[in-house]
Structure 1
Amino acid sequence: MMAMLGVFMALALILGTANAVSLGAVSTEGGMVQGRSHSIGLFRYMDVFKGIPFAATPGKFQKPVPHPGWSGVLSTTSFGNKCMQLNTFATDVEGSEDCLFLNMWVPHGSSVSTNLPVMVYIYGGGFLLGSSQSTSFMSSYLYDGQQIADRGNVIVVTFNYRVGSLGFLSSGDADLPGNYGLWDQHAAIAWVHRNIRNFGGNPDNITIFGESAGGVSVGLQILSPQNKGLIRRAISQSGVALCPWAVNRNPRQYAEEIARKVGCPTDSGMVACLRMTDAKTLTLAGDVDMITSASEPMIQNLSLFPVVDGDFLPGEPDTLFGNAADIDYIAGVNDMDGHIFATLDVPSVNVPLLPTSVEEVRALSASFSESRGIDAGIATFDEYTFSWGSNPSETDIKKTAVELETDYIFLVPTQTSLYLHSDHAVSGRTYSYLFSEPSRMPVYPLWMGADHADDLQYVFGEPFNNPLIYFPRHREVSDHLISYWTNFAQTGDPNNGESTVPVAWPEFASSGHQYLEINSSMSSSSVKQMLKTRKVYYWTRVFASYPVVKKN
């Protein structure tokens, strides 16, 4: 009985001190904040802060400014408003103009942490949608940083930034320069740099990472001179600064379209009128035409993107890689990243009994080659169908549509970015990956690989949060990604850090432009080289050699 009593007393002592290892109230430049602390295991604890303001409510079409601050201790235990955006069906808006909040997960062992690496996540959503927590995924939010923070012993930060019309509408000149969402991202990163030491983080070891439009944002942030000295490392997942949809080079045209929708003139009075239009009306006007086809693909219907403004982006992205010379960089794609877009543009891709026609692949080739003319479209079609033979199977045709979208939208620009980063690097290291764990969607074809955003559930540790709906191999994939990502955040080398990895990942330029294929069956053969070199050569050399066609 006495022995049992001793066990209970010891357990009570452990449980009773679960909140003892905590930051408590933390001082920030705006005032004191108090999060929530809880035990996550034996002698492991987590402080979670949600809804910390990192800037004031932004003025319409204005850069963010510092928050005026608050008195007393601000309770930061629930997510702040998401930024105003279209709802799922684009019939109304959700969110608020008062939306510049960030969240933080701070792990502790037997004592309060100090000098931890910091990982700041930037969400995707086509620059139209998204929030710092994303949607609820089973029992938790997708962008919950606890698994990364705990398993990798790093601080994880997520934040909101303006999207849609309020974040990226631009007149193409100084009257309405745009990039307000990028300035929000910069403000969040700068706030973390100034304040993170009080939360136990190292301000000189900040890694930014993001997926899709978030990956593009990561690429643009490291290229911008505005972030000099703020960012140590970066990870772009399925999106880089050189993606064909990363920069809008004709923003005035789209601004005039929105102006007409909201009843504003398109002459010299346009910007003044847009500034007087209420935020909800502007947001609704920035919708997307969801009627797509192989000849008018979805990616070409998106227009609210960053712009070269001469300020945040002083030049074309491919000319700015010198600004990332000392930043360690990981970039990669999912092996069938373009599937979700191919499904919209060519719906038969996902229907086993419905054939995808050769003409649809031809139309897709022509639409992606439109800027270089008819001959380039023919060359693109020939490049992607040369292995078909005289009688291609249904699977061959469907997979070709997916490959074409994957390469054009994601893979080739990612490889080009890796070459440029490596070529301009001084101290910065460069790593390339291909994520190929097959999609778990039961309605997808058997030949399906990893679709766009399939990697996120593993990066954020969902197989550990929801063990009953994942297999052991999925937890292995999640462990691999978290280990590589957090080791990289700690040391700049994904192989070296507090976590064990299954395969040594060589630097991109170490020998033959190597990359790592990440999935649940990793071995020494997972290290490969020259990822899709033929297709990269086609798009960057052959296709680029065709003259640009001027639009009327």
Structure 2
Amino acid sequence: MMIHLVLFGLVLRSAAAAKLGVVQTEGGAVEGLNVDTGFFRTVEEFKGVPFADVPGKWEKPKPHPGWDGVLIATKFRERCLQVTLLQTKTQGSEDCLYLNIFVPHGLSVSTNLPVMVYLFGGAFLLGASNDVEAFGESLYDGKEMADRGGVIVVTVNYRVGTLGFLSSGDERLPGNYGLWDQHAAISWVRRNIRAFGGNPDNITIFGQSAGAASVNFQMLSPYSKGLFRRAICQGGVALSPWALQKSPMALTRKIARKVNCWQTEEDDMLACLKAVDPIKLTMAGKINLLDIFGKDPVMDLLQLAPVVDGDFIPDDPGKLFHNAAQFDYLAGVNSMDGHIFAGIDVPSINNMKETTTADQVKGLLTGLTKDKGDAAVSSAFDVYSVHWGLAPDPAIVKKTVADIETDFLFLVPTQVALQLHANNTSGASTYSYLFNMKTRIPGFPRWVEAEHAEDLQYLFGKPFSLPLLYFPRHRDLSGYMIAYWTNFAKTGDPSRGNSKVPVLWPAFTKYHQPYLVINNSMSKSSVSYDLRSFYVKFWTQTYSQLPSVGTMEEKKSIQTDE
């Protein structure tokens, strides 16, 4: 009898499995794969759907010519040509402008769902829409988020490295090709997502690290008007010091020399570059791992990034927030976003047997603040050592190093972006958070909290899809994050939607700066105010008002000439 009941249940379940089947897009028909996610619940996955043609070298993406028959979209396509993590070779292809769509269904086929488009991180140098495979599952698999949050999740490929971001700083090689790819993908989603059961008027873009900075650039671009409705930045904004190339032509010359384009005339050198094999060009953009433990901060090695091109990014990002006034905006950082970089710049912080000295802290500050010179180092050191006392606990000194890099690279720029959005908004909402769940990475000191990118496993529901690797507290946190993020996508308010949340998240406004502390034990006390305002004030006011070294040197030379 029991066997019959089970069989009847399985038959009933498969009979009731709603699915879109063959979907007609502007390029042709596509068919995905239905995956069971629970009783009478499935997620239909469409992997490797083209949103643009194979891009020409340093050209904007072009519309896809289309295809005949039905495209079976059940496998991820190759990532865009890039260096491997160890920077020893390349992987991927120039034929890479594809996206993946995850559509949740209940008893009936979904219609008019909110849509969330994810942009991956990876320093604008590497990454993919299906990155970091673990136990046969991509980190960015949208299945759990789609199923638990009741939204369509889309993950997107875009060009990275030299092919995505090399620039001459003018119209000859304008750069930002990776940003144009993202824009083309979001535009494709807007035009086609209704056929997949999505609402084209309710699109949220979200991303982490370089993907978060990309989200911010998309918000600031005049080309995005009316294209999407909301945006989420996790650990990165366009104002982050690593997110914008300041002197693109200098880097282009350096890349040119690596591929034997020695011409002194710039036009000749650029013509030579355009003729070089894409794999050689990609390798020329790699980071030399021997440089990583040099005297300069790691941040200085991350040179390939978007540029102010007078077109997609018409001006300095800080001056473009009027373009973002229409979008609801949610942004925040992990409490130890800078720790991974701090551990490379000052290796002693992760070594139990070594102490970190005041001179090492000053050395790090010298590298980060070289634009402002010695005055910046001494004033920054005073601000960050004020709580040490006469005989500081070695762990406090080490944590200070991580705090400096977190503040400088991530937290302060994010707070500035939130404030600029709140100051410019016209009816759209702004939300701020700090994610501080203790790290799950073994071997780190006890004081290390949330490492860079550690939020992603929870947002993409790994504690549910890989339950043996996590504890119940991790599933609690994952449920909270999916609820807040998908509520925000539905309504523009992370506390309001179909998903229950542990505590109401107040909006950040021009005169009132609350933020939500996100971890597994959330309560009313998870709402705080004025995130690290003492340090934000130092970097945005005291530090930014110091004269830059260049300005001081110019003044000296003028006085000498006189």
Q: TM-score, normalised by structure 1?
A: 0.97
Moved more, 347-356 or 488-497: 347-356
Q: Which residue of 2 aligns with 1:515?
A: 515
Tell me which amino acid in the other structure corresponds to 2:14. G
CA distance in 1, matches of 2:109, 2:471: 34
C-alpha deviations, 1:233-267, integer Å up to 9, x for none?
00000001110111111000000000000011242
CA distance in 1, matches of 2:368, 2:282: 28
Tell me which amino acid in the other structure corresponds to 1:351. N
Q: Which residue of 2 aligns with 1:93?
A: 90
Q: Which residue of 1 aligns with 2:360?
A: 360
- Asked whether the 8 Å contact 1:168–1:304 carries over to 2, the reply is yes
CA distance in 1, matches of 2:317, 2:511: 26
- DSSP-derived class of the 1:17 partner: helix
Q: Which residue of 1 aligns with 2:559?
A: none
- 1:455-534 alignment, distance < 5 Å: 455-509=455-509, 512-534=512-534
- Asked whether the 8 Å contact 1:295–1:366 carries over to 2, the reply is no
Q: Is the aligned partner of 1:289 residue 2:296?
A: no
**Structure 1 pair 5–531 and aligned structure 2 pair: CA distance change class (3 A):** closer
CA distance in 1, matches of 2:264, 2:196: 49
- DSSP-derived class of the 1:112 partner: coil
- 1:395-434 alignment, distance < 5 Å: 395-434=395-434
Q: Which residue of 2 aligns with 1:84?
A: 81
Q: Shift of the alpha carbon at 1:10?
A: 2.9
Q: Shift of the alpha carbon at 1:294?
A: 7.8
Q: Percent identity, please.
A: 54
CA distance in 1, matches of 2:378, 2:10: 73
- 1:23-422 alignment, distance < 5 Å: 23-264=20-261, 265-268=263-266, 269-290=268-289, 291-293=291-293, 295-422=295-422
Q: Shift of the alpha carbon at 1:28?
A: 0.6
Match of 2:14 among 16, 39, 42: 16
CA distance in 1, matches of 2:246, 2:6: 67
Q: Which residue of 1 aligns with 2:557?
A: none
- Asked whether the 8 Å contact 1:294–1:361 carries over to 2, the reply is no
- Asked whether the 8 Å contact 2:159–2:181 carries over to 1, the reply is yes
Q: Shift of the alpha carbon at 1:510?
A: 7.9
**Structure 1 pair 70–357 and aligned structure 2 pair: CA distance change class (3 A):** same
CA distance in 2, matches of 1:110, 1:360: 61
Q: Shift of the alpha carbon at 1:522?
A: 0.7
Tell me which amino acid in the other structure corresponds to 1:526. S
Q: Shift of the alpha carbon at 1:102?
A: 0.2
CA distance in 2, matches of 1:440, 1:493: 30
C-alpha deviations, 1:211-244, integer Å up to 9, x for none?
0000100110011011111110000000011101
CA distance in 1, matches of 2:348, 2:217: 35
Tell me which amino acid in the other structure corresponds to 1:362. K
CA distance in 1, matches of 2:380, 2:110: 54
- Asked whether the 8 Å contact 2:27–2:66 carries over to 1, the reply is yes
Moved more, 451-460 or 292-301: 292-301
CA distance in 2, matches of 1:468, 1:528: 33
CA distance in 2, matches of 1:418, 1:41: 38
Tell me which amino acid in the other structure corresponds to 1:7. L
- Asked whether the 8 Å contact 2:13–2:40 carries over to 1, the reply is no
Q: TM-score, normalised by structure 2?
A: 0.96
CA distance in 1, matches of 2:476, 2:511: 28
Q: Shift of the alpha carbon at 1:466?
A: 1.1
Q: Shift of the alpha carbon at 1:137?
A: 2.1
- DSSP-derived class of the 1:407 partner: helix
- Asked whether the 8 Å contact 1:367–1:377 carries over to 2, the reply is no
Tell me which amino acid in the other structure corresponds to 1:208. I
- DSSP-derived class of the 1:103 partner: strand
- Asked whether the 8 Å contact 2:419–2:510 carries over to 1, the reply is no
Aligned residues: 549
CA distance in 2, matches of 1:528, 1:226: 36
Tell me which amino acid in the other structure corresponds to 2:147. D
CA distance in 2, matches of 1:56, 1:178: 19
Q: Which residue of 1 aligns with 2:560?
A: none
**Structure 1 pair 197–443 and aligned structure 2 pair: CA distance change class (3 A):** same
Q: Which residue of 2 aligns with 1:546?
A: 546
- DSSP-derived class of the 1:287 partner: coil
Moved more, 300-309 or 34-43: 34-43
- Asked whether the 8 Å contact 1:100–1:184 carries over to 2, the reply is yes
C-alpha deviations, 1:90-109, integer Å up to 9, x for none?
12100000000000100011
C-alpha deviations, 1:371-408, integer Å up to 9, x for none?
11211121111111122122222111111110000000
Q: Shift of the alpha carbon at 1:416?
A: 0.3
- Asked whether the 8 Å contact 2:32–2:74 carries over to 1, the reply is yes
Moved more, 50-59 or 441-450: 441-450
Tell me which amino acid in the other structure corresponds to 2:82. Q
CA distance in 2, matches of 1:533, 1:91: 42
- Asked whether the 8 Å contact 1:294–1:364 carries over to 2, the reply is no
C-alpha deviations, 1:19-72, integer Å up to 9, x for none?
4x1100101111001111132211111110000000000000000000000000
CA distance in 2, matches of 1:293, 1:469: 33
Tell me which amino acid in the other structure corresponds to 2:512. G
C-alpha deviations, 1:121-142, integer Å up to 9, x for none?
0000000010001111234110
Q: Shift of the alpha carbon at 1:5?
A: 7.0
Q: Shift of the alpha carbon at 1:550?
A: 1.8
Structure 2, gaps ≥5 residues long: 554-562
